[in-house]
Amino acid sequence: MTNPPSTPTSSTPTSAPAYSVVVPTIGRPCLADCLRALATATGHPPTEIVVVDDRPHPAGALPLEAAGVLRGRVRTLRSGGRGPAAARNTGWRTVTTPWTVFLDDDVQVLPDWSRRLAGDLAAADAVTGGIQGRLSVPLPADRRPTDWERGTAGLERAAWATADMAYRTAALAQVDGFDERFPRAFREDADVALRVRDAGWTLRRGQRTTRHPVRPADRWVSVRAQRGNADDALMTRLHGRDWWIRAGAPRGRLTRHALVTAGALVAAGCAAARRPRAAGAAGALWALGTAEFALARIAPGPRTAREVTTMLSTSLVIPPLAVRHWLDGRIRHRGAAPLRSTR
């Protein structure tokens, strides 16, 4: 491993290492809130803020004036709509500070964030390659959260999420940054974290906190999210079957989805072959599995008519879609090789 630069041990802002903030964006209105929050955080401001415009065809200006007193430190780059991994690479590869802090455009740092980040960076020893911020997801106080809201709240327990993640720039350079074969904001953060640790660096959690509001979403958002199963297949190819444990990621329900999907396929096949008893047994497996999945999503939620209807309808289609995307990922990435670190 290359020798990382030493860092001060004092936790005062004046002795903390310099850092740059990289914010990938697709031009969502929440970018203004993100920049505004950065401007109001006091104690140890970033050397620069690199906003990476990842819109395939940018239309309209980004709300950079929201950066307020930090507006002079903001510069923009374009990454051509290639996804958040490519956008982050476009940003950090131009950074000259010892540390690069990644923020998503839908988060809002707290007023003491800069000061606490200074403490996080100053306390890093020579082998600390990354320091994760703590995420806080505000949920409704007057009702139970929806399935989508609960899913977003899971970020509070996520490991190495780039919604707020500081990496030593030298560590990123050593592992060649993010793997751009991950096209979505999913698993690209776990992948780079595993490669940074495999290169000999350590990762830890810091003391700073960033607010992550639940963004608006339509009722089919959970169906579209199943595309991430293809990224899970790529993770397995790159990091082995135990990557879930090493990355601190939840295992998910893919095995159950496969059983439910198999039940539906077997039931259809047996019915076509005029084997009603076998078709009934397989159909019962499918029905029980689908009902269990739907109830597991409905029970902790607000149980409104809209939420119940959404959970029932999406629970029917999620299992086969999850399996389809996973199989697609297995086929598409069957020859994928890990990115190599530079020694």
Of the chain, the percentage scoring pLDDT greater than 70 comes to: 96
**pLDDT per residue as tens digits for the range 257-304:** 999 999 999 999 999 999 999 999 999 999 999 999 999 999 999 999
Cα separation, 113 vs 326, in Å, equals 38
Taking the CA atoms of the chain, what radius of gyration do you get in angstroms?
Answer: 22
In the predicted model, is pLDDT for residue 12 greater than 90? Answer: no
Q: Which residue has the tokens 């709300």?
A: 63
Q: What is the mean pLDDT of residues 175-198?
A: 97
Q: Determine phi and psi for 13, rounding to 5 degrees.
A: -55, -35
Q: What is the mean pLDDT of residues 34-38?
A: 98
In the predicted model, is pLDDT for residue 8 greater than 50? Answer: no
Of the chain, the percentage scoring pLDDT greater than 90 comes to: 92
Q: Is 343 exposed, middle or buried (0-12, 13-18, 19+ CB in 10 A)?
A: exposed
In the predicted model, is pLDDT for residue 5 greater than 90? Answer: no
Q: What is the pTM of this model?
A: 0.91
In the predicted model, is pLDDT for residue 150 greater than 60? Answer: yes
Q: What is the mean pLDDT of the chain?
A: 94
| The pairing of beta strand 164-168 with beta strand 99-103 | antiparallel
**pLDDT per residue as tens digits for the range 67-118:** 999 999 999 999 999 999 999 999 999 999 999 999 999 999 999 999 999 9
In the predicted model, is pLDDT for residue 1 greater than 60? Answer: no
pLDDT value for 341: 74
pLDDT value for 25: 98
Q: What is the mean pLDDT of residues 47-63?
A: 95
Q: What is the mean pLDDT of residues 171-188?
A: 97
In the predicted model, is pLDDT for residue 7 greater than 60? Answer: no
